[in-house]
A = this chain, B = another copy of it.
């Protein structure tokens, strides 16, 4: 058997755990998924991961030498997870516990940072070589991750790249879940897209494809906009305006080499990307105007890939 070494890249989500086995070049060799057992304060989660690790070590003849892991919450530099509400966790030193239970080296990161690292590594597989990137994820909320010198920027309070809570929506009247008013994610998350469209529908009698829908989702709004529906187009205009503005603010602060747009909403594709890029260019300080704005490529696997990168580069 070859002397090849392998690494685990594991992404703990609120519903499923995605676990991959990667070679030293970060290429995925095998992937499995199993449910996240959140019962009893999430106390079974690490045990399930340990079982998986042991089973795979047998299969791989003990050639897997480290674990990279992403969790949906803030993580200190020492690998301590500080309350994962989604998993029922309190304060847990995941790095120490998992290392003790498996005998392997462990690196832990926040899930958005891991997704950023995964997409950053993927972008680096192309012709260009990047050492920095800004990743924004458009889903139920708006999150992000920033890579500087090849590493995720964590921040003093684990709150770097919290792009969804940039206070830039000056005309917002309702409060964000975080308690503030005017956060980017109030407009630019999937939920925000639906809110924006519903407000426009309620404010006029203008005919719209959206009025025929029983249920409006971000996808129905983007689909209607692509068909030229005026209300949907207005909603998309407002969403992409604030997204471009938020990215212009973030890039005025870190000036990355590339901007990557991910999350479920990014499935709206080139239509969405072009609008965001246009608003970004109009609002950003001129030296950063040519920074490429691209769509993410790894979808839901980004966090798993990034977790593997974290341990491989450690």
Contact = CB atoms under 8 A, between A and B. Distances in A.
B255 A158 contact: yes
Contact of A285 (B148, B153, B165): B165
B285 A178 contact: yes
Contact of A256 (B74, B155, B163, B282): B155
Contacts of A154: 255
A211 to B, nearest CB: 31
A254 B160 contact: yes
Nearest to A249: B249
Interface string A246-280: 00111011111100000000000000000000000
A1 interface: no
A170 B291 CA distance: 24
Residues of A contacting B: mostly: loop
Contacts of A288: 155-157, 159
A252 B163 contact: yes
A31 interface: no
A212 interface: no
Contacts of A179: 286
Interface residues of A, number: 42
Nearest to A158: B287
A286 B156 CA distance: 13
Contact of A291 (B146, B156, B162, B256): B156
A160 B253 contact: yes
Contacts of A159: 252, 255, 285, 287-288
Contacts of A155: 132, 254-256, 288
A51 B183 CA distance: 54
Contacts of A178: 285-286
A36 B85 CA distance: 58
A245 interface: yes
Interface in A127-163: 132, 146, 148, 153-163
Contact of A170 (B170, B254, B287): B170
B249 A160 contact: no
A180 interface: yes
B255 A162 contact: yes
Which of A168, A183, A248, A291 has its CB near the most chain B CB atoms (within 10 A)? A168
A178 to B, nearest CB: 6
A166 B257 CA distance: 18
A258 to B, nearest CB: 8
A120 to B, nearest CB: 13
Contacts of A285: 159, 162, 165, 178, 180, 183
Given A155-B256, A163-B252, A179-B286, 13 more contacts: A132-B155, A132-B156, A154-B255, A156-B256, A158-B255, A158-B287, A160-B255, A162-B255, A163-B253, A167-B248, A167-B284, A168-B249, A180-B283
7 contacts: A156-B255, A156-B288, A158-B287, A166-B253, A168-B168, A170-B170, A180-B285
